[in-house]
Chain A
């Protein structure tokens, strides 16, 4: 029920829209989505159940609460070459644990500023509130996020095999 296989997967975006450069493998933007299990995950599930269409770029990871999403998760995704990250939880005031999402909000309000400051395009990190009843909103959010992430092109922060191996002269 959780994964996007229940959603009709059809890539409607063209290569140009994704901002891929000529010569790069034609790959869809990959976006990790961390969803709290009580609201956003259920919302995504509802979107699937209601056969709402949205881009298949999203890889969903379920967490107990959005407050469980450590900024390191986001960092690791970007470090490993994912093109974007979405963090989603319950609307303020609706957290299953009363105040978890307020903490998430503060944490990422600061963390996104740090990412931007060290040179990560702000288009790569997104956050949303999606309730269990908002299947439609979930589909919209994914559409928007996928489009924005694709607009900045593939993640090239840490090209593979680019590390100094100590074999050269330095």
Chain B
């Protein structure tokens, strides 16, 4: 069901929701666009490119205590208190959660992730102004995609929003608010959507990446391709779909926290052996995980096209170029991966 709400009606809605939910929304914090719990509706950014960190941080936090231990006994964490609501997430980030679900819920249910996922409603805000580095349409999403969201809001650029529910939970939230849309509203929504999609000029062919990665696995191409990379963790950490973590004991807490395959220690074993012992292997791993292994194991590419990796790379490595340039080979010469 689609309804039309004015901005002040939406703000009223957020204010009402705050009674029952912890509302997390995009705000400007120290010059950075960040999602964080809000206490007032005037903190919300209604028009923003995208947050620096993806909303994955609310499901797989940068640092999370699994349990505490006291005198040899583990103390389980208390269940999460209040229900949460993420307001204004971009469709690309919402899609990333569906991909993370495959990792954390499909085979073995990760209770920490599951609990947060169950406990959280996702309200999306469609993208009206995709950036040059955005390419969500190449990965089965789009600036107006409802996928993974409970509600999707689309700004009609005149202070009114079309709010479309995509789940019973979402329907419940918007019921009785604003008015039902008419055909004219829908036409306008369609126009905004087409305009936004039209701004994403570049279409990628992810299937060609898969083929190139499989065939070019042992290619000497990677020797040179990896040279620019400085092996930091920015692209991995800011990626909404990268989900690798490390676990350590800190003081009396067992914590899990983000880890990145670009770090030498990521694969280093206790014996000192490191299967991915050079930058070349570590550089290649990221591409293979996203566009090769994950596709083969789960049937989808591990990318939503949010473009954060392109925007944040300290040396402006363009992963689209890296993949495009893998030489097409008929067979892999094998050798060292």
Interface residues of A (CB under 8 A from B): 163-170
Say yes or no for B315: interface residue by CB 8 A criterion. Answer: no
Query: Residues of B at under 8 Å CB distance from A?
Result: 22, 24, 35-37, 57-58, 61-65, 77-78, 80, 82, 84, 253
Q: In whole angstroms, what is the CA distance A164 to B255 when docked?
A: 11
A165-B64, A165-B65 are known contacts. Are A170 and B36 too (CB-CB below 8 A)? yes
A170 and B77 in contact, given A164-B63, A165-B64, A165-B65 (Cβ under 8 angstroms): no
Are B36 and A165 within 8 A (Cβ)?
Answer: no
Q: How far is the CA of A170 from the CA of B84 in the complex (A)?
A: 10
A170–B37 CB distance below 8 A: yes
Q: Which chain B residues border A169 with CB–CB below 8 Å?
A: 22, 24, 36-37, 58, 82, 84
Measured CB to CB, the closest approach of chain A to B261, in angstroms, equals 21
Q: Which of A164, A165, A166, A170 has the most CB of B within 10 A?
A: A166
* A167 & B37 in contact (Cβ 8 Å cutoff): no
Chain A residues with CB below 8 A from B57, complex form? 170
- In the complex formed, the residue of A with least CB distance to B256 is A166
Complex contacts, A166 vs chain B, CB 8 Å: 61-65
Within the complex, the shortest CB–CB distance from A149 to chain B, in Å, comes to 24
B255: min CB distance to chain A, Å? 8
A residues within 8 A CB of B65? 163, 165-167
How far is it, in angstroms, between the C-alpha of A168 and the C-alpha of B37 when the chains are bound?
Answer: 10
The answer, among B24, B78, B82, for a CB contact under 8 Å with A170, is: B24
Given contacts A170-B37, A170-B61, 13 further A-B pairs with CB under 8 A are A163-B63, A164-B61, A164-B63, A165-B63, A165-B64, A166-B63, A166-B64, A167-B77, A167-B78, A169-B37, A169-B84, A170-B35, A170-B57
Q: In the complex, which of the residues A163, A164, A167, A170 contacts B80, with contact meaning CB atoms closer than 8 Å?
A: A167
B22: A residues at CB distance < 8 A: 168-169
CB-based closest 8 A-B pairs: A166-B64, A166-B61, A165-B65, A169-B37, A169-B22, A166-B63, A170-B36, A169-B84
